[in-house]
Chains A and B, each alone.
Chain A
Amino acid sequence: QKEVEQDPGPLSVPEGAIVSLNCTYSNSAFQYFMWYRQYSRKGPELLMYTYSSGNKEDGRFTAQVDKSSKYISLFIRDSQPSDSATYLCAMIKAAGNKLTFGGGTRVLVKP
């Protein structure tokens, strides 16, 4: 079993819809949780990161962490075609340690 599970999609939504992405993980030692966005033929880029449980909002993006359920989510409001990309969750057990990635979810926002 992988340490971090993520539905590969693709997830297709109409423009303006809310995109809901999630990851589950098995190791309760993870403390820092990140979301990366990867456009086709590009490297991943960090969108957001959160520490421990709770919510964090940045513009149209909201990240949620529920450590009791070992479940993290990313919501994209008012989705745009430019949000079409693969979204990867990643997590770390402690600052300075290595990232563990989920497999990524491909998102397609249709105009």
Chain B
Amino acid sequence: DADVTQTPRNRITKTGKRIMLECSQTKGHDRMYWYRQDPGLGLRLIYYSFDVKDINKGEISDGYSVSRQAQAKFSLSLESAIPNQTALYFCATSVSSGRVDEQFFGPGTRLTVL
């Protein structure tokens, strides 16, 4: 079984719709992240959470919101989807340590906004 799962894997939606992407992990990690990936731009951080009561904006949080429902669950919402939010979305987890965190990525959600 995958340690970091994302649902749905693919989603096509229309402009203006509200949608939610979900992430679950069985790794027992305290830190969770949402990224989007666009061709040539690498991964850009949308939001991150270091524990259940901690939510932080990343570099491109406008138009997105998140909810950390439990240590194992971190969901990303697009309040009113627009076409330039068409991208590949990844959830990642890591565990806090005194060294560099290794981030473990889910398989991604391909989102298309028409």
Could you tell me if A103 and B103 are in contact, using CB atoms closer than 8 angstroms? no
Could you tell me if A101 and B100 are in contact, using CB atoms closer than 8 angstroms? no
- A17: CB under 8 A from chain B? no
- Return chain A residues, CB-CB under 8 Å to B101: 95-96
Write the chain B residue with the least CB distance to A32: B100
Chain A min CB distance to B77 (Å):
20
A 11-50 contacts with B by CB, 8 A: 32, 34, 41-46, 49
Could you tell me if A43 and B92 are in contact, using CB atoms closer than 8 angstroms? yes
Chain A min CB distance to B43 (Å):
5
Query: Which stretch of B13-21, B65-73, B78-86, B105-113 is in the interface?
Result: B105-113
Residues of A within 8 A of B (CB): 4, 6, 8, 32, 34, 41-46, 49, 51, 88, 92, 95-96, 98-99, 101-104
